[in-house]
């Protein structure tokens, strides 16, 4: 038999091929836990850093772009409210209410606000006196709200704005309009008007229209009648002569005889204006007090004032096109619901003039604002 030169097949044990086992994780023995969302801890007041203060800021006066008192008054009147946004989130009835309320407000401007814009006290006071004496400006005491800056007791009104307000009044007839404007020319720089200058009917009409206020309403407020400008002697004498024929004589020896017969100049809708101003100041201070040190960068305070409203930036427009939320509509914010779209810059200037807040330089994040 020939020899086989190849090895004979052997019945060996075949090894079973198995897939390679993955390497065991060193954390495999640890038990699995589902992540639990924990509530965010409130920041401790001591953890919030106070803004650096490198001195008083001239941000407002340097960016106001006004050069004299008249320009400052026009600027203040023109910047109190913002324009209605394209997507206001208000129906036509509410929009009409907002616009009508704005138009009804008197053309008042506080002296403190003017000082804030110009930041030159001596020059401003001298210019105000010159304008008042020239008849281009009237200085008006707002009754019942205090005589200091925070009480808005000292206000300015352009003579042309006051005349336009009288001419456009639907409550006064033409004869009474002419008589009242003639009074303004005769009274000079005073705010006091003898009640006898007008007949009782005309006096009541002017009071209802908001152009006069009785002295009794002043004594109920915080304003002292004795501190108001006196009636010019010539006008008081002429008024007394006219009133003798029309009104019964009052008992002699009465201490309030003259003051009870004295009226004071006013402007229509001054009350709603002061309430709105007070609400704006309170809201601004409440936003500042949300910070630990009652201070915040100006840009952050502006964002708080405007609210989380949608913007017109590119990414917001893209999200809006996809149907995603980009913020609330302006009509749902306090700025528009209660303050009729009051401008942040305007109320900041008012609060600075009233001595409620101050603006300071931080040296790092722009101007800062703090409560006083």
- pLDDT tens track for 194-213: 767 888 899 899 999 999 98
Q: What pLDDT, on a 0 to 100 scale, did the predictor assign at position 224?
A: 40
- For the chain, what is the mean pLDDT? 77
Whether the model pTM is above 0.85: no
Kindly report the backbone phi and psi dihedral angles of residue 7, in degrees, each rounded to the nearest multiple of 5, phi listed first. -70, 140
Q: What pLDDT, on a 0 to 100 scale, did the predictor assign at position 193?
A: 84
Q: What pLDDT, on a 0 to 100 scale, did the predictor assign at position 15?
A: 58
User: Using CA atoms in the order 271, 280, 353, 61, what is the torsion angle rounded to 10 degrees?
Assistant: -130
Alpha carbon distance 307, 229 (integer Å)? 44
pLDDT band at 256 (very low <50, low <70, confident <90, very high): very low
Both tokens of residue 114?
């003017």
**Closest residue by Cα to residue 87 from 311, 269, 278:** 311
In percent, how much of the chain has pLDDT > 90? 43
Name the H helices within the chain. 59-63, 69-78, 92-104, 111-118, 121-134, 159-167, 174-187, 200-209, 215-220, 233-246, 257-260, 270-288, 298-306, 314-321, 334-337, 344-353
> What is the per-residue pLDDT across 280-312, written as a single tens digit (0 to 9) for each?
999 999 999 998 899 999 999 999 998 876 555
Q: What pLDDT, on a 0 to 100 scale, did the predictor assign at position 131?
A: 94
Q: Are 369 and 301 in contact (CB under 8 A)?
A: yes
Strands 192-194 and 212-214: unpaired
Q: Are 200 and 214 in contact (CB under 8 A)?
A: no
pLDDT band at 219 (very low <50, low <70, confident <90, very high): very low
Asked whether the CA dihedral 335, 339, 342, 346 is positive or negative, the reply is: negative
Q: What pLDDT, on a 0 to 100 scale, did the predictor assign at position 309?
A: 65
**Between 291 and 233, where is the model more confident?**
291
Among 115-119, 151-155, 198-202, whose mean pLDDT is lowest? 151-155
Q: What pLDDT, on a 0 to 100 scale, did the predictor assign at position 141?
A: 75
Q: What pLDDT, on a 0 to 100 scale, did the predictor assign at position 318?
A: 56
Name the H helices within 221-372. 233-246, 257-260, 270-288, 298-306, 314-321, 334-337, 344-353
């Amino acid at each position: 038999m020939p020899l086989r030169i190849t090895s004979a097949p052997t019945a060996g044990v075949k090894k079973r091929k198995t897939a390679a086992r993955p390497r065991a994780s060193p954390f495999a023995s640890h038990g699995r836990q589902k992540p639990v969302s924990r509530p965010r801890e409130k920041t401790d007041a001591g953890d919030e850093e106070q803004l650096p203060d490198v001195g008083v800021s001239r941000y407002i006066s340097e960016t106001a772009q006004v050069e004299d008192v008249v320009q400052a008054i026009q600027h203040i009147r023109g910047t109190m409210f913002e324009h209605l946004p394209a997507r206001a989130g208000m129906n036509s009835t509410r929009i009409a209410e907002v616009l009508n309320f704005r138009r009804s407000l008197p053309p008042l401007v506080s002296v403190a606000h003017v000082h804030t814009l110009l930041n030159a006290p001596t020059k401003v006071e001298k210019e105000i006196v010159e304008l008042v004496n020239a008849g281009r400006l009237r200085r008006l005491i707002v009754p019942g709200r205090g005589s200091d800056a925070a009480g808005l007791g000292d206000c300015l009104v352009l003579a042309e704005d006051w005349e336009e307000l009288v001419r456009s009044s639907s409550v006064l007839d033409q004869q009474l309009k002419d008589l009242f404007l003639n009074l303004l020319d005769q009274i000079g720089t005073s705010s006091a008007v003898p009640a006898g200058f007008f007949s009782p009917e005309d006096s009541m009409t002017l009071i209802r229209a908001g152009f006069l206020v009785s002295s009794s309403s002043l004594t109920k407020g915080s304003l002292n009648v004795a501190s108001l400008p006196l009636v010019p002697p010539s006008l008081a004498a002429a008024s007394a002569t006219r009133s003798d024929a029309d009104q019964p004589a009052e008992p002699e020896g009465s201490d309030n005889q003259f003051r009870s017969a004295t009226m004071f100049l006013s402007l229509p809708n001054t009350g709603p204006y002061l309430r709105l101003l007070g609400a704006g100041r309170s809201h601004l201070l409440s936003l500042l007090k949300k910070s630990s040190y009652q201070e915040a960068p100006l840009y952050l305070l502006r964002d708080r004032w405007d609210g989380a409203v949608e913007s017109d930036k590119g990414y917001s427009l893209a999200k809006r096109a996809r149907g995603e939320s980009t913020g609330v509509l302006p009509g749902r914010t306090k700025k528009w619901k209660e303050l009729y779209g009051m401008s942040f810059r305007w109320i900041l200037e008012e609060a600075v003039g009233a001595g409620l807040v101050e603006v300071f330089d931080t040296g790092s994040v722009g101007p800062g604002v703090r409560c006083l």
